[in-house]
Structure 1
């Protein structure tokens, strides 16, 4: 499944279903972009019958992606990432728009996600799409090194978007 997106500065944008053949490129983008990147093994385990995994390509090059699952009317966004060299071009918004379209097609009632409170740009993106903060998972994420207070864990902010209510 592939959908065409329009971009005034570069019309060569496509969004397509990801496959296991994409794992090496996904892992490379992940390493460059995340504090605690997914391993190739985690990517591999994220392909299953409930998967909703799509990549955004610019001129045929994978520039961003998302991994989600839809089970029993509930979609969970597990990972969304845009390659550092492609950030600031609206690609994350395109991916989020595509995710919402997929959720609607799959008749999801809610989309849930977790995000680090320190990831303010992601939180702003989620708010832009109507996500609301629903709770906190204490000490959920590991930090690569202790912060200025000596903490080695970071909370996860739980966010949800209710669809069609």
Structure 2
């Protein structure tokens, strides 16, 4: 009985020592710490939940589209995954529209999708190129913008 208890304690101490050394060697990487602390059972459960979440998302969005309207009142639709990109350039009518609402509308073309993806969310300057409301400094914004910090033309856009 004492041998089993002693072996268990030594095994746990070695396990914790290895984990601590790897954590320090990876510059205290929080992702490593999270995966290490949940263990093998937690990783299996996390992977199962991830797969269930993917299936649920596909099941919910597989026939849904986002509907947008331009300044002339013309309506277009796109896949839900492009909705945030088109929201920069068009007015959103409905994000999750069912097939009966979007099937008679015109879809966005590939060229329109590529142009819509030219926005601050997909730019490599995303974190450093923003309007600082508290300091009222518009000089950080690289693209052409108005007096309120709203980008009017993405002329310095660089893809991430």
User: Shorter-chain-normalised TM-score: which range?
Assistant: under 0.3
Of structures 1 and 2, the larger Rg is shown by: 2
TM-score by length of 1: 0.22
Structure ranking higher on relative contact order (CA contacts 8 Å, 6+ apart):
1
